[in-house]
Amino acid sequence: MPTAAGRLRRALGLPELPPRFKRAPLRMPASVSADGLTLRAAARRVEIAPGVAVEAWSPGDGPVGPTIRVRTGDSARITLANALSEPTILHWHGLRVPEMADGHPRLAIPTGATYQYEFPVIDRAGTYWYHAHPHHRTGVQVYRGMAGLLVIGDAAEDALGLPEGEHELPLFIQDRRLAADSTFAYEPAMHEQMEGFFGDAVFANGIRLPSKSVETTTYRVRVVNGTTSRILRLALSNGQPFTLIGNDGGLLPAPATLTHIDMGTGERVDLLIDFGTVAVGSRVMLMSAAFESPARMGGMSMGRGMGGGMGMGRMGAGGVAQGAAMALVEFTVDRAVTPVSWKPRPLPRLVTPDPRTAKRTRTFQFNSAMMQHTINGREFDMERIDETVRFGDTEVWTFVNDSPFPHPVHMHEVQFRVVERIGGRARIMPWERGLKDTVLVYPGERVSVAATFDSYRGRFLMHCHNMVHEDMGMMMNYAIA
């Protein structure tokens, strides 16, 4: 007789638990304050598993950057020192900051230079992140480790009594490949320059194939999709649901109980996972469950990953196909404790931009064809201002995807509300409520978002966050004037 969990597992396309083998202990990046912080970007040898060291490019001592913890109302004073062999700049993904603190690629600094960031933290409590943003080199730099989490706290969140300390787990997820010489291999082949670049092993916080020992209680798990191109379908291997409490722009208006969540590159979720009902001595995998890749070639699905995760039609590439199941983090339930369960309480009130007050609607076509990725037919030009919006206005922006590939569309400088999805999935997903800065637009979809441009004037970006697409120019400047 199949169990309910077994049926759920199959419905989600989850395989039986992968065979047990030695996984690496998950490590948490150091937590640092933003007050007088120096991030030194350099190539350094780091451990990605016990006894396995590789060269990473990172803005700290670890395989990825430290977790920057700030509170709303704080002042951030951060120095970026570039000891890499090429230009770089950091962007604070999801934060509303002055133009000169936003990490626009024209602000990239050469080897040996420093860049001074100063900005007040005006955003809500939530899971944000930072990453390199130099033009044409964002993909490779983030892949090698030039990224980290930025966590904002505030009083409204404190009042909820969410799990904290060792019961709060920030997870920066990447997929990468190791070359024979133990460097991170990143050379997108022809077809990967179209669909995207996919790794063959999962990393969390820079640790390859990580495992985390947990107690029989509730954990707050913050997940950042920091992959180059991969959509993750988060699910637990035992079919157990989790509670979604927040996403890109902080806590949701109400928690949601879900068995899976899809997230594109750049998106974040804030989850409560209850290990209180899991038997001590067992393990639960946080998975990316199998799904049909939304990519379409010649009207056909690109298909799910075939045996071993190697998709068809990707000769010469070593990555696990988009949509193939992958185990992200193994949780071993090792210690029985009196569970502290988190009772859903009213979450802080949330005001989102109202599309009915929009002064203007703009439409953006995302095209991928003939080895080019464009927005409204144009590749990124550092100096060209493609759109100008009036400071203080609310607008509705519609992202249209008639291309064969999914595009996770990211806007700098605003947190928007997803107001409509026409075609494709044809609805707003439960994890797309609240405030967001990145939204997945599948082939055949038109997704509209409402944003209010009332934080700072200046030049900012809107782009696809599939980093292969972004590096090839699927990005545009807009000015808030």
For Cu ion, give the closer residue by CB, 328 or 464: 464
For Cu ion, which residue has the nearest CB? 464
Which is nearer to Cu ion, 80 or 439 (by Cβ)? 439
Q: Kindly tell me which of 248 and 274 has the beta carbon lying closer to Cu ion.
A: 248
> What residue has token string 């996403």?
247
Q: Which is closer to Cu ion, CB of 237 or CB of 466?
A: 466
Closest separation in Å from C-beta 150 to Cu ion: 24
Shortest distance in whole angstroms from residue 123 CB to Cu ion: 25
Q: Which is nearer to Cu ion, 186 or 242 (CB)?
A: 186
Q: Which is nearer to Cu ion, 8 or 462 (CB)?
A: 462
Shortest distance (Å) from residue 196 CB to Cu ion: 8
In the complex, the smallest distance separating the C-beta of residue 368 from Cu ion, rounded to whole angstroms, is: 7
Output the smallest distance, CB 146 to Cu ion, in A: 20
Task: Report the residue number, 127 or 466, with the smaller CB distance to Cu ion.
Answer: 466
Q: What is the closest distance, in whole angstroms, from the C-beta atom of residue 407 to Cu ion in the complex? A: 3
Dist. CA 135–CA 105, nearest whole Å = 5
Token pair recorded at residue 321:
């196909």
Residues of the shown chain interacting with Cu ion in the complex, contacts defined by CB under 5 A: 407, 464, 466, 469
